[in-house]
Amino acid sequence: MSPEGRLGILAGRGELPWIAARRARLMGEDVHIFSIYDDEPPAEFRDVNHRIILTKLYSSTIRIMKKWEIRRLILLGKATRDILYDHPRFDLRSIILLARMASQSDYSLFDTVSREFEKKGIHIIEQNKYLKELFLPSGRYGRKCTLRELHDVSFGMYHAREINRLDIGQTVVVGKKSVLAVEGAEGTDNCVRRGGELFHKKGAIVCKVAKINHDMRFDIPATGAATLKTMKEAGCRVLAIESARTFVLDPPGFITAALKAGITVLAVDPEKTDLACLKKINARAAKKVV
């Protein structure tokens, strides 16, 4: 076990929790997974996978983590709001905690829960601790974008950042300098589907961003093959993400799938989304991801 104590991963759905767990093990960590859904874990983690009820923060989640002497915790994976709204089961102290919150926005929930963990001696660490290889280097992957598309990327990144600043969502779909869809609680793929169809499947632009000064412990944007599939079905042709602040599941496979679908991926520096900087990125294809 690390001198910093046993590592826990609070796991939603998707591959990110398991990718991080494997990499943490390779680095000598004693990892335990605390799953908020009933999904079957990979065989290699069945003996250290614990089902918890997240809305019972004290009588389930923290109690089980303390039992296993968790000192550090990473929050990873998809967690939809049906946890709060679809027949939730709260313990009394969690109800009181929610009642004290000014809002139930994603950031407010993450921040409030993390402070409760810290009070119990469980330190929340950055999500990218074991996942830095999932960031795409800055560059263009795929065909060159047209000037109209670059204008839309710059426009879209600005509006995505504003929407995220308000804690509404991380993704917008734009076309001809018009916002076609904004991500809410329904998730990225539904947002992409709505926006692409509103643009009559004629090449809308998808922009996904983190917050300015993003707290890397919470909700780092992520994308993968499922979003590419939805983009292709909706006729979207460009995906713009932030190079060092967006997890890409299986980067080589992701880029291969994007090229096959005819989708250009622009991985950009968060501070360089103006038209002049985008033209420089667009001018030369990025190196192959391995």
- Note the pLDDT tens digit of each residue in 106-154: 677 778 888 889 999 999 999 999 999 999 999 999 999 999 999 999 9
Q: Has residue 198 got a pLDDT over 80?
A: yes
Average pLDDT taken over every residue of the chain: 91
- The more confident residue out of 108 and 279 is 279
CA–CA distance, 282 with 145 (Å, rounded to integer): 7
* Confidence (pLDDT) at 57: 81
| Contact between residue 243 and residue 269 where contact means Cβ atoms under 8 Å apart | yes
Q: Mean per-residue pLDDT for 155-184?
A: 95
Q: How confident is the model at residue 35 (pLDDT cuts 50, 70, 90)?
A: very high
Q: How confident is the model at residue 23 (pLDDT cuts 50, 70, 90)?
A: very high
CATH superfamily assigned to domain 135-283: LpxI C-terminal catalytic domain (3.40.140.80)
| Contact between residue 152 and residue 180 where contact means Cβ atoms under 8 Å apart | no
Instruction: Determine the CATH number of domain 6-130.
Output: 3.40.50.20
pLDDT digits (tens, 9 = 90+) for 43-102: 999 999 999 987 788 888 999 999 999 999 999 998 765 555 555 676 767 666 666 766
DSSP string computed for 115-148: HHHHHTT-EE--GGGGTGGGBPPSEEESSPPPHH
| Contact between residue 72 and residue 48 where contact means Cβ atoms under 8 Å apart | no
* Confidence (pLDDT) at 99: 67
* Confidence (pLDDT) at 7: 97
pTM, to two decimals? 0.89
Annotated domain spans of the chain: 6-130, 135-283
